[in-house]
Amino acid sequence: MLEKSGSTRSRLAKVAMMSEYLRGLGEEELGIAARFLSGEIYPRGSGMDAGVGYRMLLDVAAQVTGASEEELLRTYRAHGDLGDALQEILGSGRIAQPPLVPAEPLSLKGVYDEFVRLAGIAGEGSYQRKIVRLRGLLTSCSPLEAKYVVKLLLGELRTGAVEGVVEQAIAEAFGAKPEDVKRARLMTGDLGEVAILARRGALGSVGISPLRPLDFMLAEALASPEEAVERYPGKALIAEYKYDGVRAQVHAVGEEVRIFSRRLEDVTWSFPEVVEGVRGLNAVLDGEVVAFRDGAPLPFHELQRRLRRKNPQELSDEVPVVYFAYDVLYMDGRSLVDLPLSDRKRLLSELLPEKRGAISTSPWWTIRSAEEIAELFRRSRDEGYEGLMLKDPDSAYELGKRGWKWMKLKEELDTLDAVVVGAEYGHGKRAGLLSDLIFAVWDGDLLKVVGKAYSGLTDREIEWVTKRLRELEIRDEGLRIYVRPEIVVEVAFDLVQESDRHDGGYALRFPRIKALRSDKGPEDADTMDKLRWLAKMAKRRGTLHQ
Ligand code: ATP
């Protein structure tokens, strides 16, 4: 089905094919199929992760096909995709070794169960044990099936566009309204479950279920205080400090607590004091974990030290945190996302009337003019915050959406989140370390290189980056390597200029790596559109200053 729908460019034809296929499946297979079609493996919030990376798949592919790593990499480069490369090699009839695990005929359920087993392998020797299972799985696959197993494991089928197509197919298959399917997807985050509910005609009953992560609402960037007022003439806006911390969604159902990061990963264990603080509540909160001592925020890198520790308790005295809650999405059995922000704020202060251990509500103000915004902005900077967030008081909480209902104002406009696609070895003290990072931003589906920077990272961070880059390596050119796009860095610079030095058509002047953004994934990196916008702003500012 994946191959068939991929072979047509017509959205309508894809939808028709998928809906017919989904309609013909039994309930259990329907859930699995809808998830696979959208590029997901496990149900949202299950906490399962196959933990299979590119390196491991290359090792398995070499074992299964008997091809040398060089041959594999050559085929990979020709296709630009490991799934396609494996299909080609297996398609030529190459199976070097019989499976160690007896091969059963492949069914959707069989493949899914195997993925579940993979997620369950942990601890010592897990790399080898996973390889054995993967060998079993891949040798019982046809070349075409192998291709999609690999793509699913690498998360390469996950795109926003595909999600929309599967939603539409579910609606068509079971006679549901597309907007009801979309809403259910936003609430559950799991198209498998949505498909089953659609078949049962039960989409109307879907609400937020706590302990399962929801997509975050995101903000657009303002160029100036005036712009906010221009967008909302005459309207009072809610203003809050912009914290330089880690976005966190905190779910509490009595004694049970889960904390999810911006990438919807379960980070509960990192913040024991936040867990303690919300125990006993029955709510879902949105907010920021901030390193905070003596009434003032600490820089972001302090917080990162805690994120990297195996045992976060060790650092909880040295780097204490506060969770600043700025929104509430669910309370006492009721979903609040459709209420206006001003109502949610009121409910939040009823829920948390005063500081509760490490939990605090975020202070907020009502502002109307550009002067007030500028004044509050200065105050936020003086107190050590990153800037301001401005929010429309009448807005619903729009799950998973970036828009102008939330706006951010930062001093340093000129930073960019970019993905590292390659690196070069440093000199002198940094010989043997990959300290010069080549980074890229999205242009549609493609990553375009926009610069290279000698990193401003600490020695520890560079060591970590070097190790991680080697794991992600796909091509070695001696002094330079190319890697799978996984690591996101925040790049500061002075100006964006048009240039043909890089393939993106723009170059950054004086780029420096400001921070590793381990809270972000490659899909969160910025786009060429932002660069074009920054170049335009730089030009405009240039003329203003003349
Ligand atoms: P950035 O790189 O600026 O942190 P982002 O891409 O992570 O941005 P955006 O939605 O564009 O996310 O910007 C808002 C971000 O600012 C949020 O994701 C959140 O982590 C952070 N933030 C800090 N304080 C607030 C606040 N009071 N309200 C909302 N978000 C806040």
Pocket test for ligand 1, best of 241, 246, 247 (most atoms within 8 A of CB): 247
**250 touches ligand 1 (CB under 6 Å):** no
pLDDT at residue 100, as a whole number: 46
pLDDT at residue 62, as a whole number: 84
pLDDT at residue 116, as a whole number: 94
544 vs 398, 414, 464, 531, 538, CA distance in Å?
36, 17, 43, 20, 10
Closest residue by Cα to atom 13, ligand 1, is: 219
Cα 231 to Cα 455: distance, rounded to the nearest angstrom: 37
Cα 273 to Cα 315: distance, rounded to the nearest angstrom: 12
pLDDT at residue 301, as a whole number: 82
Pocket test for ligand 1, best of 215, 218, 488 (most atoms within 8 A of CB): 218
96-142: per-residue pLDDT in tens?
555 444 455 678 898 999 999 999 998 888 899 999 899 888 888 77
* CA of residue 283 to ligand 1 center, whole Å: 21
Structure tokens at 346: 């009121």
Could you tell me whether strands 218-221 and 402-410 are parallel, antiparallel, or unpaired per DSSP bridges? parallel
**242 touches ligand 1 (CB under 6 Å):** yes
Q: What is the pTM of this model?
A: 0.76
Helix, strand, coil in percent for the chain, rounding step 5: 40, 25, 35
pLDDT at residue 543, as a whole number: 42
* CA of residue 524 to ligand 1 center, whole Å: 12
Q: Residues within the annotated binding site for ATP? A: 240, 247, 262, 288, 402, 408
Transcribe 14-73 into DSSP letters: HHHHHHHHHHTS-HHHHHHHHHHHTT--S-TTS-------HHHHHHHHHHHH---HHHHH
458-498: per-residue pLDDT in tens?
888 888 999 999 889 888 887 889 999 999 999 988 778 78
- The four Cα atoms 265, 327, 225, 230 give a dihedral, to 10 degrees, of 110
Burial of 467 (0-12, 13-18, 19+ CB in 10 A): exposed
Q: Which residue, among 52, 62, 249, 260, has the nearest Cα to 151 in the 3D structure?
A: 52
User: Partners of 410 in the beta sheet?
Assistant: 387
- Say what the ipTM of the complex is: 0.96
**247 touches ligand 1 (CB under 6 Å):** yes
The CATH number, out of the four listed (1.20.1260.10, 3.40.350.10, 2.60.40.420, 1.10.3260.10), of the domain defined by the range 40-154: 1.10.3260.10
Q: Specify the ligand 1 atom closest to the Cα of 216.
A: 18
pLDDT at 335 over 50: yes
216 vs 248, 264, 355, 406, CA distance in Å?
9, 9, 24, 12
Of the pLDDT bands very low, low, confident and very high (cuts 50, 70, 90), residue 337 is: very high
**408 touches ligand 1 (CB under 6 Å):** yes
* CA of residue 242 to ligand 1 center, whole Å: 7
The CATH number, out of the four listed (2.40.50.140, 1.20.1250.20, 1.20.140.10, 3.40.718.10), of the domain defined by the range 415-541: 2.40.50.140
pLDDT at 336 over 50: yes
* CA of residue 95 to ligand 1 center, whole Å: 49
pLDDT at residue 539, as a whole number: 65
Burial of 538 (0-12, 13-18, 19+ CB in 10 A): middle
Cα 156 to Cα 93: distance, rounded to the nearest angstrom: 25
Cα 324 to Cα 360: distance, rounded to the nearest angstrom: 5
pLDDT at 418 over 80: yes
Of the pLDDT bands very low, low, confident and very high (cuts 50, 70, 90), residue 457 is: confident
Residues sharing a CB contact under 8 Å with residue 110, sequence separation 6 or more, in sequence order: 104
* 64 in Cβ contact with 135 (< 8 Å): yes
Could you tell me whether strands 480-483 and 402-410 are parallel, antiparallel, or unpaired per DSSP bridges? unpaired
Q: Which residue, among 276, 313, 307, 278, has the nearest Cα to 290 in the 3D structure?
A: 307
pLDDT at residue 13, as a whole number: 85
Q: Decide: helix, strand or coil at residue 331.
A: strand
pLDDT at 78 over 80: no
Q: Specify the ligand 1 atom closest to the Cα of 246.
A: 20
Closest residue by Cα to atom 2, ligand 1, is: 417
**243 touches ligand 1 (CB under 6 Å):** yes
Pocket test for ligand 1, best of 327, 367, 407, 408 (most atoms within 8 A of CB): 408
Mean pLDDT of the chain: 87
217-243: per-residue pLDDT in tens?
999 988 789 889 999 999 999 999 999
Closest residue by Cα to atom 8, ligand 1, is: 219
Per-residue three-class SS string for 113-134: HHHHHHHHCCCCCHHHHHHHHH
Q: Domain ranges for the chain, please list them.
A: 40-154, 218-409, 415-541
Q: Specify the ligand 1 atom closest to the Cα of 362.
A: 27
Give the residue with greater pLDDT, 426 vs 364: 364
* CA of residue 249 to ligand 1 center, whole Å: 13
* 31 in Cβ contact with 193 (< 8 Å): yes
pLDDT at 42 over 90: yes
Residue type at 397 in one-letter notation: Y
Q: Residues within the annotated binding site? A: 240, 247, 262, 288, 402, 408
pLDDT at residue 544, as a whole number: 38
- Which residue in the list 242, 345, 405, 514 is annotated as catalytic? 242
395-411: per-residue pLDDT in tens?
999 999 999 999 999 86
pLDDT at 290 over 90: yes
* 239 in Cβ contact with 385 (< 8 Å): no
Which element (helix H / strand E) includes 380? helix 370-382
242 among known catalytic residues: yes
**361 touches ligand 1 (CB under 6 Å):** no
Q: Which residue, among 4, 23, 2, 9, has the nearest Cα to 169 in the 3D structure?
A: 23
Class of domain 218-409: alpha beta
175-206: per-residue pLDDT in tens?
999 999 999 999 998 999 999 999 999 998 88
pLDDT at 174 over 90: yes
* 225 in Cβ contact with 351 (< 8 Å): no
Closest residue by Cα to atom 11, ligand 1, is: 219
